[in-house]
Amino acid sequence: MQSKSFLQFIVITLIALCQVSTLHAQSRHNKKEEVIIIKKYKGPCDVSAFIKKLPDRDYSKMDYKPVPLAGQKAYFGEMNDYMSDFVKKYMHVHNKTLVCVKNRCIKAFPPMDTILKQNNIPKELKYLSVIESALNNNAISPVGAVGPWQLMTGTAHYLGINPKERRDWSKSTVAAAKYLSILYSQLNDWLLVIAAYNSGPGPVNRAIDRTGSHNFWDIKPYLPRETQGHVLAFIATASIFENLNTFIGYSIPEELVLDGKPYKVPVKLINKPALKSPFSKDELENMAIVRINKPVSMELMVQELGLDNKQMSRWNSDYELYEYNTYPTTYYNLRIPKDKLNNFLKKRPTMEKQSQKLFKEGSV
């Protein structure tokens, strides 16, 4: 009897171990599938799996909405003033680059305009190539995106061009036009298209599922910070070249109100003298300037260091451009109260790590 009981115990144990092994294998398999799904959309414009699944159709014959420009209250609603202010800041810090691009666009834009028109795509989408490569067809990103439209190898292949042709102005624009059409057919909004162009459709669709909204401003907090900045940079660039073109190379008057229409520069404003320091003598005496090489969330700094949010916003009025990775330099000279400097330096490494996590996953 003891021998029989022992044998039963062995059999039951073996069955249990087999069940556990099977469940563990299924769990590993499910985790592997999850990783594959995430990796499908990782990297700028590398969405070959996404394109492969789409139905074969003529995307160029779709009807497209206009591209929203800063000052168009009907589109931006309560975010209109924020977007107009962002455009002014963007133009101020990128003025030198915009002058360079303005010279390059004389040759680059005409063929782009023709190709976009042939594909029924609004001409303003050409400004995406400005923020992608500054109209440099030899541009190569750290992750391998190449050309004026920064296409990945897999994406170029599925869009019908040889990866080596990504540097070709016409062929890469044809490929980009097709890709933009495909994205629009899925998202039906140009700001969501720009977001998906940067991050891939996956993060955008997940943000839409999470919020139940197809409005960029609703899903914005749930997108990677770089993608948020990419969309804002596109709006700013398109708005500047379309409506503030004559201001490129000059200062924008503080009183200028953007209304979504072209604005000419009065001669009296072109030669307007430079503004004096916006800070008082007392502020300058109590202000420390520290160079940072990684963006730290302003909200996190205010919370961790007990800072005055309004003061920090005024002292660092263009800091959000650095947070959104749309600043012209990889560093930022942060203005901070002197009595908070030591605490900032002490907590800086931890705040940088926390901020990078927030920026990557979305700020919410």
pLDDT in tens, the chain (364 residues): 444 444 444 444 444 444 434 333 333 333 332 222 222 233 444 455 565 556 566 665 678 899 999 999 999 999 999 999 999 999 999 999 999 999 999 999 999 999 999 999 999 999 999 999 999 999 999 889 999 999 999 889 889 999 999 999 999 999 999 999 999 999 999 999 999 999 999 999 999 999 999 999 999 999 999 999 999 999 999 999 999 998 898 888 777 889 888 887 665 555 554 556 788 889 999 999 999 999 999 999 999 999 999 999 999 999 999 999 999 999 999 999 999 999 999 999 999 999 988 887 664 4
Dihedral pair phi/psi, residue 140, rounded to 5°: -130, 125
Residue 257: predicted pLDDT = 86
Residue 52 burial (10 A CB sphere; 0-12, 13-18, 19+): exposed
pLDDT of residue 353: 93
Residues of the chain with CATH 1.10.530.10: 53-270
Alpha-carbon span 358 to 237, nearest angstrom: 26
pTM for the model: 0.80
CATH class of this structure's domain 53-270: mainly alpha
| Angle formed by the axes of helices 169-187 and 190-199, nearest 10° | 120
Distance CA 144, CA 163 (A): 11
CA nearest neighbour of 149 among 180, 124, 176, 187: 176
* CA 21 remoteness from chain centre: 43
Tell me, what amino acid is at 313? S
